Amino acid sequence: MSTTPHILVVEDEEHLAFGLRFNLEAEGFRVTTVGDGLAALDVLGQADDPIELVVLDLMLPGMSGYEVCEKLRQRGSSIPVLMLSARSLSEDRIRGFGVGADQYLCKPFELPELLARIKALLHRFQSGAAQSPTESTVSVNGHEVDFDTYLVDGPEGTQLTALEMKLLRYFLNHPERVIPKGELLKEVWEQSPNIQTRAPDQFILRLRKIFEDDPSHPKHFLTIRDAGYRFVPGTPST
């Protein structure tokens, strides 16, 4: 694999596409730009010089960014997708995650923010890909989680939402480590780490209900007082 990540920018506004290419190349990435979804899927299907990350505009002529992302995931690709949108509505964001986007950034954005997210995604993908390139299910305390359907324990089981799935994914990617609440707010909710909210606590209560043998005595989704949360994937020794 090349040491210089190859990024595809899908953006129909030429000045923005140009600016993205310029800045990403300045950071040492190799960049291909296309202006619509069909061309994007074409480039993503090529075997030689494969793309390692997609920066995908939502509003495109013809096929929307949602459709591009959905089609990409239907092909079985797990390539990181960072969606760009001029729309900041939470419905759009949730729909973006629903079709399999990994990150969602609203225009106008600050360049350092975009670069930080691209680097984080590449890092996460490269470390995750080494473990399970094609695995679409994972077992959490004996419960099967399907990453394609967001179902736990099959069709008769529990349906996770996009955000619950995102939180779970974050825990799975950061096992054993104490994760501060602010980090979850930033990485999963994409909010300022300093906002006052009980959202992470509520989501963790829900994950406990689904995955813990005894939700009132959790062994996997732990709250560490005054520090944050810790996910323990293994079966505790008895």
Residues binding Ca ion (CB under 5 A)? 12, 57, 59
- With respect to Ca ion, which residue has the nearer C-beta, 57 or 187? 57
At closest approach, how far in Å is the CB of 203 from Ca ion? 32
230 and 224 Cβ atoms separated by less than 8 Å: yes
Give backbone dihedrals phi and psi of 142, rounded to 5 degrees, phi first.
Answer: 85, 0
Q: Cβ of 175: how many Cβ atoms within 10 Å? A: 12
At closest approach, how far in Å is the CB of 88 from Ca ion? 15
C-alpha 159/C-alpha 193 separation (Å) is 28
At closest approach, how far in Å is the CB of 33 from Ca ion? 13
Give the CB-nearest residue to Ca ion.
Answer: 59
At closest approach, how far in Å is the CB of 85 from Ca ion? 9
Residues 6+ apart with CB under 8 A from 197: 185, 191
At closest approach, how far in Å is the CB of 16 from Ca ion? 8
- With respect to Ca ion, which residue has the nearer C-beta, 12 or 183? 12
- How far, rounded to the nearest angstrom, does the alpha carbon of residue 195 sit from its chain's CA centroid? 21
At closest approach, how far in Å is the CB of 57 from Ca ion? 4
Angle between helices 162-173 and 199-211 (to 10 degrees): 80
- With respect to Ca ion, which residue has the nearer C-beta, 84 or 165? 84
Tokens of 26: 């300045």
- With respect to Ca ion, which residue has the nearer C-beta, 12 or 212? 12
- With respect to Ca ion, which residue has the nearer C-beta, 60 or 179? 60
C-alpha 149/C-alpha 152 separation (Å) is 9
- With respect to Ca ion, which residue has the nearer C-beta, 9 or 210? 9
Q: What's the DSSP call for residue 235?
A: P
Q: What torsion do the CA atoms of 208, 81, 188, 88 make, to the nearest 10 degrees?
A: -130
- With respect to Ca ion, which residue has the nearer C-beta, 62 or 193? 62
Going by C-alpha positions, the residue among 96, 98, 73 that lies closest to residue 84 is 96
At closest approach, how far in Å is the CB of 120 from Ca ion? 24
Angle between helices 37-45 and 65-74 (to 10 degrees): 30
